[in-house]
Chains A and B, each alone.
Chain A
Amino acid sequence: MKSSNNKKQLLTGNEAAAEAAILAGCRYYYGYPITPQNELVNHMAIRMPQVGGTFLQAESEIAAIYMAYGSAAAGARVMTSSSSPGISLMQEGISYLAGSELPCVIVNMQRGGPGLGDISPSQADYFQAVKGGGHGDYRTIVLAPASVQEIADLVYDAFDLADRYRNPVMLLGDAQLGQMMEPVELKKIPRTQQTPRWAVTGAEGRARNIIKSFYPVKGELEAFNIRLQRKYKVVEQKEVRYEEVNTERAEIILVAYGTCARICKEALRRISGTGLQIGLLRPISLWPFPKEPLRRLAKKAKAFCVVEMSSGQMLEDVKLAVLNRCPVHFYGRMGGGVPSSKEVIKKVLNILAPEESTLELEMSEISQELGKGLYFSTIP
């Protein structure tokens, strides 16, 4: 079987997400086409029948998330995926999953917005993913991979987290991560999943099970919310994931996830040997957010610089984590703009020596980058 040998294969991020899901025992996939995650839908259409699973192209993302809700209620490992506009349509369903405490893995390969936007990489759905997106006091566990290998590893782990906490888990990628190819090793153990005892399976020989999020009796809903928040506290204590690069001696610490973290790593590589002490903190779990490591680093760093493909969304969480212990700078590109490692270096130099402002240079360089065709040319 293609997915269970221990050799490296060359896969797109989207395909790796699909293969990792299959490895994790996911046998139900519901989706709706949207660029830049079509490879995932197409791959599942081929692979699910091969492994005895179900692939269903839904009539909309709304239907897809509720089909996933159904299979989750039935106790099966289930995944759906989309990109930004489609994920917006799924928000009510994600709230229902959280409210009914159903495990489900949702992949969002983000593209530029708002509205129809474009199909180039973006990180502008951070607020939506991390702060709720749908209605009510709920949390989605959000994991942010920075390579195709990590997409595979995190998708696999996402199923375990979803089951452990009976909660939706979102893998937050972007157009670049979804569509680029890298060697991947699917090294984890193939899973078959056990049906949990709370699932609706037909109440043969047992008391019935009910899956619901409606609590009309006064006080019950508040009690349920309190229980949910207790669960979220445990997640915050146990499931924080992050990576630190050169933070020991760093004066300036870049904070970036996903594609931007890769770009920051490239920037670190380019300045190594120059004597500049720059580090990187890469959140891997965006919720729960790595607040403690940031607080710890805030004690010795001179400044942070958050780098995002957004107007500054994760920036708010970094500021909340470090409070006023340390200045927090920001470099962001929007609407499909991808920062270059050069732009990041320039920003860092600017923080270190603000009097030599490089703002004008930055702008001209950005337009140069545009001319070089940073933009993807597929049709949405």
Chain B
Amino acid sequence: MQALYRAPETLLRVPTHYCPGCGHGIVQRLLAEIIDEWGIRGKTIGLAPVGCAVLAYNYLDIDMSEAAHGRPPAVATGIKRVYPDNIVFSYQGDGDLAAIGMAEIIHAASRAENITVIFANNAIYGMTNGQLAPTTLLNQRTTTTPEGRNPLTHGYPLRVCELLATLDGASFIARTSLSSPKNVLQTKEAIKKGFKTQIEKKGFSLIEVLSPCPVYWRMSPVDSLKFIEEKMTQTYPLGVFKDWGKKEL
């Protein structure tokens, strides 16, 4: 009998702490699959953020380090400078990357730092119980925008890919989503392209993944996927915003 699918070896067989329907676990499985398929477990180093994904190192069987809230790009820089031939990636949420860590991400991109950033955008602060994120949609209710995000008082959703794509140091910038099996596969391809960017020393790569947080969106997991397709992608269109080797994706 031939196995059509088996869990990747790099994904440790432990129950995760993620809520049902959460996107973080899916992205981490994709990372494990790529690491297995490419046989790069021995040279990959990951950074876990402060956010719901902080325990990513409990699930991925690779060398990993924590970084303080918002600082994974700086820590990744410090590691990558020591091991320029390793694959160094950071995994970050939207509070981590687009609020407290905005300076670090912009400067890592601008320096053409040869790292890959996986940016899980769930438009909310998951870990701290559902507050406004820079990426929260207009009218979206959060614990700190109980009446919904009002641009007059809370400002507008922040588009990270569009912003970073303006920087000369950014080489591969793409936005994908987890809303369907097809989109999950596309996310995997985009992460591969990010790693390839790094392996070929082409500079900074970032893959923004629209990721469900059913708990703080106060929706079922299925409705959350619908929300991504129907609402989130209106504000955050999917696509490739910058690509050093367009034909190859």
Q: Which residues of A contact B (CB under 8 A)?
A: 28, 30, 54, 56, 58-60, 62-64, 66-76, 78, 92-93, 96, 100, 200-205, 208-214, 216
Chain B 61-91 per-residue mask, 1 if CB under 8 angstroms from chain A, else 0: 1111111100100111111111100100000
Q: Which of A78, A203, A216 contacts B78 (CB 8 A)?
A: A78
Q: Which of A63, A202, A208, A214 contacts B83 (CB 8 A)?
A: A202
> Distance in Å from the Cβ of B65 to the closest Cβ of chain A?
4
| B42 contacts A by Cβ under 8 Å | yes
Whether B81 contacts A63 by the Cβ 8 Å rule is: no
Residues of B within 8 A of A67 (CB): 74-75, 77-78, 81
Chain B 134-149 per-residue mask, 1 if CB under 8 angstroms from chain A, else 0: 0000000000000000
Given contacts A59-B107, A67-B75, A211-B65, 15 further A-B contacts (CB under 8 A): A62-B104, A63-B74, A63-B77, A63-B107, A70-B74, A70-B76, A70-B81, A70-B82, A71-B78, A73-B78, A200-B63, A202-B45, A204-B43, A208-B57, A210-B57
Residues of A within 8 A of B82 (CB): 28, 54, 70-71, 74-76
- The CA of A64 and the CA of B54, in the complex, are separated in Å by 22
Whether A200 contacts B54 by the Cβ 8 Å rule is: no
Within 8 A of A (CB), among B103-133: 103-104, 107
Residues of B within 8 A of A74 (CB): 45, 78-79, 82-83
- List 27 A–B pairs whose Cβ atoms lie within 8 Å, in order of A's numbering: A28-B78, A28-B81, A56-B77, A59-B104, A62-B103, A63-B107, A66-B67, A66-B75, A66-B78, A70-B75, A73-B78, A73-B79, A74-B82, A76-B82, A78-B78, A93-B68, A96-B66, A200-B79, A202-B42, A202-B45, A202-B83, A203-B62, A204-B42, A204-B43, A205-B42, A211-B65, A212-B65
Whether A203 contacts B77 by the Cβ 8 Å rule is: no
Q: Which residues of B contact A (CB under 8 A)?
A: 41-45, 48, 54-55, 57, 61-68, 71, 74-83, 86, 103-104, 107
Whether B103 contacts A60 by the Cβ 8 Å rule is: yes
**Contact A209/B63 with A66-B68, A202-B45 known, Cβ cut-off 8 Å:** yes
Residues of B within 8 A of A60 (CB): 103
> Distance in Å from the Cβ of A336 to the closest Cβ of chain B?
30
Whether B43 contacts A71 by the Cβ 8 Å rule is: no
Residues of A within 8 A of B103 (CB): 59-60, 62-63
Q: Quick one: closest A residue to B61, CB to CB?
A: A208
> Distance in Å from the Cβ of B197 to the closest Cβ of chain A?
18
Whether B78 contacts A202 by the Cβ 8 Å rule is: no
> Distance in Å from the Cβ of B185 to the closest Cβ of chain A?
27
Residues of B within 8 A of A72 (CB): 78
Q: Which of B43, B44, B71 contacts A66 (CB 8 A)?
A: B71
Whether B66 contacts A71 by the Cβ 8 Å rule is: no
Whether A200 contacts B45 by the Cβ 8 Å rule is: yes
Residues of A within 8 A of B83 (CB): 74, 201-202
Q: Which of B42, B64, B71, B77 contacts A200 (CB 8 A)?
A: B64
Q: Quick one: closest A residue to B17, CB to CB?
A: A216
Residues of B within 8 A of A211 (CB): 64-66
- The CA of A70 and the CA of B67, in the complex, are separated in Å by 8
- The CA of A204 and the CA of B155, in the complex, are separated in Å by 47
* Shortest 4 CB-CB contacts between residues of A and residues of B: A70-B78, A204-B42, A66-B74, A211-B65
> Distance in Å from the Cβ of A173 to the closest Cβ of chain B?
24
**Contact A73/B65 with A63-B104, A201-B83, A202-B42 known, Cβ cut-off 8 Å:** yes
- The CA of A360 and the CA of B57, in the complex, are separated in Å by 65
- The CA of A93 and the CA of B57, in the complex, are separated in Å by 20
Whether B65 contacts A70 by the Cβ 8 Å rule is: yes
Residues of A within 8 A of B62 (CB): 202-203, 208
- The CA of A214 and the CA of B51, in the complex, are separated in Å by 12
- The CA of A15 and the CA of B65, in the complex, are separated in Å by 32
> Distance in Å from the Cβ of B17 to the closest Cβ of chain A?
9
- The CA of A100 and the CA of B47, in the complex, are separated in Å by 14
Whether B43 contacts A30 by the Cβ 8 Å rule is: no
Q: Quick one: closest A residue to B106, CB to CB?
A: A59
Q: Quick one: closest B residue to A204, CB to CB?
A: B42
Q: Quick one: closest B residue to A205, CB to CB?
A: B42
Residues of B within 8 A of A203 (CB): 41-42, 61-63
Residues of A within 8 A of B79 (CB): 70-71, 73-74, 200
Residues of A within 8 A of B78 (CB): 28, 30, 66-74, 78
Residues of A within 8 A of B54 (CB): 214
Kindly name the residue among A59, A200, A209, A214 whose own CB sees the greatest number of chain B CB atoms within 10 A: A200
> Distance in Å from the Cβ of A94 to the closest Cβ of chain B?
11
Residues of A within 8 A of B44 (CB): 202
Whether B65 contacts A210 by the Cβ 8 Å rule is: yes
Q: Which of B45, B48, B67, B107 contacts A69 (CB 8 A)?
A: B67
Q: Quick one: closest A residue to B68, CB to CB?
A: A96
Residues of A within 8 A of B71 (CB): 62-63, 66, 69, 93
Residues of A within 8 A of B55 (CB): 214, 216
Residues of B within 8 A of A202 (CB): 42-45, 62-63, 83, 86
- The CA of A36 and the CA of B65, in the complex, are separated in Å by 33
> Distance in Å from the Cβ of A217 to the closest Cβ of chain B?
11
- The CA of A56 and the CA of B111, in the complex, are separated in Å by 10
Residues of A within 8 A of B76 (CB): 70
Q: Quick one: closest B residue to A78, CB to CB?
A: B78
Residues of B within 8 A of A73 (CB): 65, 75, 78-79
**Contact A71/B81 with A63-B74, A66-B67 known, Cβ cut-off 8 Å:** yes
- The CA of A304 and the CA of B216, in the complex, are separated in Å by 61
Q: Quick one: closest B residue to A30, CB to CB?
A: B78
